[in-house]
Structure formats: C-alpha cells, structure tokens
Amino acid sequence: MALNIAYFSWVRERMGVAGEMVDLPADVGDLGALIAWLAARDGRGALAFAEPNRIRAAIDGSMTGSDAPLAGVGEVALFPPVTGG
C-alpha cells in the first residue's frame, strides 16, 4: 500500500525530509506499526521515533491514536506534541 507521510517540527528535522511516499509492508496495518517500521528502517527513523509515545499523528487531517488502522488512508502527518500560547 502506498502512503504519503508528512513530517513536522523536530520529526522533520531528524528525518531530513518534509515528507515521503512509502510502500508499506503488508504487516504494517496501524499507526503504531507504521511508527515502529519507520524507526527500524534506518538511523534517521531511529532518531526521530526513539520515543514513539511522544509522537502525535493525524490521518487524513484528523488526530488519531496509535491503534488507528491505515487501510484506505491517503496521508499520515507525524509531529511532536504541540502547545498553545
């Protein structure tokens, strides 16, 4: 399955790109598995996702949790916690 991933803030800085299109392995079926897969791919991902519980995500523009399924998803945005001011 092809998936567009957008990275924001320090996640983008650590990944070295603002986003990418990836072909997911068949066993990556939810957001938590996606983050684990990204962390295991290479050193940039290991650095960006070393603390997966700190990552926030939006799937197709809606905030979601790590158990959210990826079937039929067009875009996942990954970013650190955000605070207002």
Domain ranges in the chain are 29-85
Residue of 82 and 66 predicted with greater confidence: 66
Specify the higher pLDDT residue, 82 or 12. Answer: 12
pLDDT confidence of residue 82: 77
The per-residue pLDDT for range 2-56, each reduced to its tens digit, is 999 999 999 999 999 999 999 999 999 999 999 999 999 999 999 999 999 999 9
3-state class (DSSP) for residue 23: strand
Residue type (1 letter), 63: M
pLDDT in tens, 51-77: 999 999 999 999 999 999 999 999 999
CA distance 14 to 1: 24
Q: What is the pLDDT of residue 1?
A: 86
**pLDDT at site 85:** 56
